[in-house]
Amino acid sequence: RYTVVINPATWAEGIVDSDLPENYLNAVRTPPSDLPRVEELARSLTSDLPADDVRGRIDRVYKHLTESGEYEYSLIAPPTNPTVEPIEDFLFNRKTGHCEFFASSLAVLLRHAGVASRLVTGFKGVDQN
C-alpha cells in the first residue's frame, strides 16, 4: 500500500503548477495511448502477477531493463530514428542509451503495468574538496 502525502500549502502557492492533486495523480497513472508495442511489452512482463502486486510489477519491469542483457548503458548512443517514438526506438531498436532513456522507458512501462509513476529529471553536481 502506498500513500501520497501532499502539502496543501505547496499546491496553493503554485510551486507544483496549478493542477490539483487529483489531476496530478490521474496523470501519473495514465499511460500514453499511442505506444502499443510498449503496452504489449509491459503486459508480457507482468501478466502473471496480480494487479495489486505493485512491488512485483516494479521489480519485473526494472529487471527487464537492467538484468535481461538486452539493454546497454552508454553516453554515446546510436542516432535516434526520427520516425519512431523515442521510447519505442530505445526499447525495440537501439537498446542503447543514457539514463533518461532508461528512466523514461521505466516510467512508461510501469504506467502500462498499472503502477503510477513519473519521471523527475535534474542534476546535482558534487562539491570538490
Give pLDDT tens digits for 8-24: 555 445 444 445 566 66
pLDDT level of residue 78 (50, 70, 90 thresholds): confident
Instruction: Determine the Cα–Cα distance for residues 57 and 48; give it in Å rounded to an integer.
Output: 10
- pLDDT for res 126: 66
- pLDDT for res 113: 95
Q: Does the structure show a pLDDT above 60 at 27?
A: yes
pLDDT tens digits, residue range 82-113?
899 999 999 999 999 998 899 999 999 999 99
Burial of 86 (0-12, 13-18, 19+ CB in 10 A): middle
Q: What is the percent of the chain where pLDDT is above 70?
A: 75
pTM: 0.76
Instruction: Determine the Cα–Cα distance for residues 92 and 122; give it in Å rounded to an integer.
Output: 26
